[in-house]
Structure 1
Amino acid sequence: MTDPIGSSVRSRFDYQPIHKRPLLRLPKHARVAVWTIVNVENWSPTAAMPRTVLPPPMGLPLLPDIPNWAWHEYGIRVGFWRFLETLSSRKLKATFAINGSVCSLYPEVCEAAREAEWDFMGHGFVQKPMHKVEDQRAAITDTIKAITAFTGKPPRGWESPGLTETDETLDLLAEAGIEYVADWVIDDQPVPLKTRAGTIVSVPYTVEINDVVISAVQQQPSDEIYRRGRDQFDRLYLEGAKAPRVMAISIHPYLTGVPHRIKYLEMLYDYILGHDDVVMWTGAEILDWYRSQVEG
């Protein structure tokens, strides 16, 4: 029997123009809530890489793919620690999107994020599209269990690998207790999504201020995250004078964590922090704020 909710993407939410909805208010009349998502993933050396920086010699894919796997591994060994310093020195907390298997593969990284009081978010069990996962329910459950065992509390948010979802993913996430998702890049404010287990909230994410798109897909210059991020913030800050907006910054250690890009991320944070009427939050804090607005 076909699930009438899961059968259609459009049926998940009601269309409501941003200028025709109840007014939300951030604390102290802030204009923009900014959240940072640090993505740490498990790329299996024995499988095809989720992303590549070098094409295979003579166009023939080869396994193990050492250069592209090592490209990612550099981010875990070095790039992540640049992120930690950049954020900690500015007293900022990130939302930590991790594959569940990262907790056992890279415990030092997870320990550092836990000590920094980052908000852990599920990101699949391994870095594989949800359409290719043999048992989605088990993968979601295993991810939640791994994060819960490591942090002492279950993750409230979820970002699917590659933002991929099947028709059933959202229902399975809600049934597992996930409260918000980052897969639905549809708005500058949180949006409630319908599932067979009730409502789950879409917290605004980004495919624009996202270094996978900027650096790996579009192959833009090193300073693009600063230039594009600054322009994104400026417009949201202007519009936020009438109704608050949410801005996401999505980064990966193997991309923005490299020496020739990290200073531009620092410049972006310093630019944003130079403005009044801005809150720097985690995904869970944005969720709680939104719920207080619509349920209070």
Structure 2
Amino acid sequence: MGKFVIEAHFRLQEWIAHEKGYFTDEGLDYEFRELIRSSEGKHHDKGDKQGAFQSFEKGRTADVSCACHWTINVAAAKGHGRMAAEVYSVAPAGIFVQPDSKIKRPEDLAGVPISVGYQSGSHYATIQALEQFIPQDKINLVYSTGMLFARMDKLLDGSAPAANLFNGPYYLAEQLGYRKILDTTFMIGMMIHGSPDPEDLRKYYAALRRAQRDLDLRPEKYTHYYLKEFPEKYHAQMDVRRWGPGERLVFEPYSKEVFEESRDWIASHGIFPDGNLGTGGYEQATVSVR
């Protein structure tokens, strides 16, 4: 078997584990790849209606990759990998508007174009959070072809009246004074690709658990890693000392009940226009990582 391939997923834990030697301490023979900053953020640029789910259809190169749990759920059921059954993460996210916007309440977002990523976390999370306040037919989603950074850029340059942002972009918008109208925090799942050695998976997650403990204890020591995730053009605006720890790993089961309830919600909201959510059940779509 070749080296275990790790790609940073726009969160801090992989950077902590890599630079503090936790992967090595666990005995993991690995290759660490960074794709966001080195590509000036273009790694996230997609075509029309090309989002997180489509990236799984095309194939991902890391042994473990991540996306919102809704997309991972369907992608695994369609055979594009197997979902880690015993760990997920939770990302801070929210719908932001311009500092001087007349939009003050979630109800004010009725009919307003909201920039999200197609079949990505921001897509599902915006509907899930907003439907408490406005009818679904008044939720006006605009799919950003550039996903994460392009969506943030449209908010910052004023071309998008509202955008759903998570993790680093969430903190930058907050720091710059953009107004958060609604929290849309959501779960992120982990997809296992190919057939990595189960012992390598155990080592990988053991290192991440150590990194999560460090982040919980002293978050201010590690927010500088956001600079490794953002292209240099943003650095002059960023004061990462003011930012929070971001996505948090939760070493608890993504259970069969959660799997099935999530699929019911996706189906009832027509996220996949063809209605095809895959035929793989929980046992076929998930794998143990312990």
Q: How high is the TM-score relative to the length of structure 1?
A: 0.28
With CA pairs under 8 Å and 6+ residues apart, which has the higher RCO, 1 or 2?
A: 2
